[in-house]
Structure 1
Amino acid sequence: MTCDVLKRYDLSLCPRWWRFLLLTALLLALGGCVTLHIEQPDQKIIAQAVSGALIPGFERRDIPSADTVSRLNDNMRSFVDEWAPASMTTNDKVKSLLRGLISSQGRAIQYRSDITLDAESTFEQAVANCLSFSILYASMAESAGLRVAFNKVEVPPLWGLREDSLTLTSYQHVNVIVEHLGYDQVVDINMQEYSVDYPQKRISKEKIIALFYNNNAVNAMDTGDYGLAMSYYRAGLALDWSASEIWNNLGVLHMRINEYDVAVELFKMALSLNTRELSAATNLVRVYQYRGEKEEADKVLRAVQGYQKNNPYFYYRMSVKKLDERNFNEALADINKAVKLLKDHRFYYVRSRVLQAMGGYEESMQSLELAIQVATSEYYRLYYLSEKEKFNARAEEGRAGVGSELL
């Protein structure tokens, strides 16, 4: 159930759980014993922001309807009949349809993380990110008589450092689950980003379309078309009022038009819906710093940094950065902290690369062996085995290679 503020701003029309959120103070636990107390968002400001009234010259723009985002045309239905005919078993349909979409014998769809298209455009242009591909595959699979569900995967966050602020890049990965009798099968255009160990949950088609609108809003915002971005954000919230990523991005939009007071309330809204929306917390710090509110900025920043210190992916990212800079001692210290917090195969791999760069052959091989042992997929295991062969070949030739590819 959603609270459609695009039509009316009557709190009594919202679900009880939503009213409860608005009437209680937010306790944001960002990590360990660090707790951040944030006031509830100002609903009058929220309503004003969602209306689009603050966007210069805003007029509602035409955007794809929810139905057209996943629509199949006659050519696409013929493709389904060819690659997943009724005579096939469920398992064969799943594999054949995937092969038809990504192999050179079929559509040869290429992965591109920076583009979000509807199903028809994805099919015609043969490019897709995980969301676009999931929408296309799910629509075709349903046309072939398969039962499907959308799966939202919480890919671990990677922290990046800018000169004067911390920023968190959060990535929402989506794939498709085909439901079999007794087991489910995951279909993903970018299996390198997927692991069964990551937190994940099935989400509705409405939430998927809301993510589609959100992605396109960000693209429009980045090109400076704030009116189109606002139209997409409104459409996304109409489908999924609880989408914290949309509230955060809407806050970024209002930052860009210098509506900082409004942005603060939007970031609070994001955090009230999802205490793990760390990008919103980071953005709050930036706004408070800009406005000269040092005490408020420091309070939020301490909580963010408290989470950071207990976040193995922060140390992982910093180790990769320092490896690139050939600062091997600090890179090793950071990756050791990451490994201490979490036994992730990628951490062992990066530690192997650092040790290799430092000339520690035996220790490097031991770490690479651990990466192979705890790899979460066959893809990674085979990759590490190939790296082991390359490393052995280099060692025999008397030269150690240095690299820092980030998996």
Structure 2
Amino acid sequence: MKTPVTSVIPAFLVSLLAALILSGCTTLPAQEAPADVHGLLSGTAILGEPVDPAALPDEQLLSLTPEMRALLARVAPGRSPDARLAALIRAFDEQSFHVSYEADATLTAADTFHQQRGNCLAFTLMMVAMTRELGADAYFNEVDVPPVWSSEQEQTFVVYRHINMVSQGRRGRRVVDFNLEAYDPLYDQRRLDDREAFAQFYSNRGVELMQQGDAAQAFLHLRKAIDLKPGSADLWANLGALYSRAGHRELAESSYQQALALNGGHLVSISNLERLYRAEGYTKLADIYAARVHYHRERNPYFLYEEARTAYESGDYKTAQKRLSRALRLYEDDHRFHFLMGLTSLRLGRVKSTREHLTQAFLLAESPSVENVYARKLKAISEGELQLEFRETHDRNLPRVQGVLELDYPRSF
């Protein structure tokens, strides 16, 4: 069971991108918005006829059930809204009410409460709805947590964006989060209005339905998301992934081009176009897109960190040290980089470097849970359990939330 954690900030998942090779000097072909955006949004290729606007989902995402109102009525009655919110959070912390984390459960506030499960977006919808019912301020907050690159059948670069709730009261700013272990106050964050948060909800649901093989409902949900936020390159890239998975390559290409017209540096769309053109045999064009993705990948410290982690786990400590050195030149404030560099230096017999980077890792962690994991790891090493995998400390083990973009989208190509 998961219970909320409060702090001064928050949680949500989502985006991704694949990566490849060549010089950063290569420029992409000029991107223009496709002439027939209406055609992309009609859904005829998937639905068999133009979409009926009345068929688009229109869920009451923040509605409360009588049971929810009954619970809130018992929470510190007669107190101020801020005091009642504090009491509600204590009830969660004391496990008076449970919500189990499920990454693929993007639910409304009422469904999250009733089913006692959901991902971070679902949990945040529920908390925003309940907090506002108490009369306290509540809004959605999006936080960019460090990206994580993972390798399964394809190489995929995954960027996590967390969504949490923020309440601004007389005593300051309170953040309610499903899991603060993945959060650092230094991460970039921004306030989302309800419309943006709702667009993410429908996009999440669209991705989940796409993964379940329900292309028609996936389209309706993604179309709803785009209606709410037509200027989001992420949402158009999602639509492209759906068209690609459904075998409509030209519509997928146009959707990615629309995303790039909105954001010329949208690497998810660049990567998807590279894969699409390569599959269609347009090798030279694909190489241009691949070169651009590779250029950014080699300048992304988190991608370099993942390469170093893979090298470390395979026993190639010199390669791990080289990739970590490059990552740290690009960004030196992530405790994970320093901890892995400390372990790598230990394996290479570099005592001074080991001490320096392990010390820096603990200074930057600022999280008791992370510090405890690191301490256990070092204790195991000191006791001779040198084969313990570094993967134990990697935060991909934390809950993951489906987000703006499909996590495994390259499989659609």
What TM bracket, shorter-length normalisation?
0.7 to 0.9
Out of 84, 95, 105, the residue aligned to residue 93 of structure 1 is 84
Amino acid at match of 2:43: G
- Count matched residues: 368
Superposition pairs of residues 325-404 of structure 1, within 5 angstroms: 325-343=314-332, 344-358=334-348, 363-375=353-365, 378-379=366-367, 381-385=368-372, 387-388=374-375, 390-392=377-379, 394-395=381-382, 397-404=383-390
Q: Deviations over 1:254-312 (max 9, x none)?
A: 11122212111111211222345321111011011111112221111111111111110
Question: Scaled by the length of structure 2, what TM-score is found?
Answer: 0.81
- Against the structure 1 CA distance between its residues 279 and 148, is the aligned structure 2 distance closer, same or farther, given a 3 Å change threshold? same
Partner of 2:7: none
Cα drift, residue 367 of structure 1: 1.6
> Is 2:149 aligned against 1:149?
no
Amino acid at match of 2:390: S
> Is 2:234 aligned against 1:242?
no
> Is 2:42 aligned against 1:55?
no
* Alpha-carbon contact 2:305-2:324 (below 8 Å) kept: yes
- Against the structure 1 CA distance between its residues 62 and 48, is the aligned structure 2 distance closer, same or farther, given a 3 Å change threshold? closer
> Is 2:276 aligned against 1:283?
no
* Alpha-carbon contact 1:155-1:198 (below 8 Å) kept: yes
* Two-structure CA RMSD over aligned residues (Å): 2.6
Counterpart CA distance in 1 for 2:277 and 2:263 is: 20
Cα drift, residue 146 of structure 1: 0.7
Out of 181, 189, 209, the residue aligned to residue 200 of structure 1 is 189
* Alpha-carbon contact 1:167-1:282 (below 8 Å) kept: no
Out of 46, 58, 70, the residue aligned to residue 65 of structure 1 is 58
* Alpha-carbon contact 1:168-1:282 (below 8 Å) kept: no
* Alpha-carbon contact 1:368-1:384 (below 8 Å) kept: no
Amino acid at match of 2:69: R
Partner of 1:14: none
Out of 102, 121, 133, the residue aligned to residue 112 of structure 1 is 102
Partner of 2:28: 36
Amino acid at match of 1:257: A
* Greater relative CO (CA pairs within 8 A, separation 6+): 2
Counterpart CA distance in 1 for 2:275 and 2:144 is: 25
Superposition pairs of residues 299-318 of structure 1, within 5 angstroms: 299-318=288-307
Q: Deviations over 1:121-158 (max 9, x none)?
A: 11122112111111110110001111112111222333
Out of 207, 213, 223, the residue aligned to residue 202 of structure 2 is 213
Counterpart CA distance in 2 for 1:179 and 1:40 is: 42
Amino acid at match of 1:404: F
Cα drift, residue 401 of structure 1: 4.8
Q: Deviations over 1:174-218 (max 9, x none)?
A: 111101247322211121222222222111101111111000100
Percent pairwise identity: 27
Cα drift, residue 168 of structure 1: 2.9
Partner of 1:74: 66
Counterpart CA distance in 1 for 2:45 and 2:74 is: 51
Q: Does the residue aligned with 1:107 lie in a helix, a strand or coil?
A: coil
Out of 107, 110, 114, the residue aligned to residue 124 of structure 1 is 114
- Against the structure 1 CA distance between its residues 33 and 219, is the aligned structure 2 distance closer, same or farther, given a 3 Å change threshold? same
Partner of 1:252: 241
Counterpart CA distance in 2 for 1:136 and 1:286 is: 39
Q: Does the residue aligned with 1:55 lie in a helix, a strand or coil?
A: helix
Question: Scaled by the length of structure 1, what TM-score is found?
Answer: 0.82
Moved more, 318-327 or 338-347: 318-327
- Against the structure 1 CA distance between its residues 190 and 37, is the aligned structure 2 distance closer, same or farther, given a 3 Å change threshold? farther
* Alpha-carbon contact 2:65-2:110 (below 8 Å) kept: yes
Counterpart CA distance in 1 for 2:212 and 2:242 is: 12
Counterpart CA distance in 1 for 2:140 and 2:253 is: 32
Moved more, 72-81 or 222-231: 72-81
- Against the structure 1 CA distance between its residues 272 and 156, is the aligned structure 2 distance closer, same or farther, given a 3 Å change threshold? farther
Partner of 2:162: 173
* Alpha-carbon contact 1:158-1:317 (below 8 Å) kept: yes
Cα drift, residue 325 of structure 1: 2.8
Q: Unaligned 5+ residue runs, structure 1? A: 1-30
Counterpart CA distance in 1 for 2:386 and 2:108 is: 47
- Against the structure 1 CA distance between its residues 41 and 102, is the aligned structure 2 distance closer, same or farther, given a 3 Å change threshold? farther
Q: Does the residue aligned with 1:43 lie in a helix, a strand or coil?
A: coil
Partner of 1:133: 123
Q: Unaligned 5+ residue runs, structure 2? A: 1-22, 396-413
Amino acid at match of 1:65: D
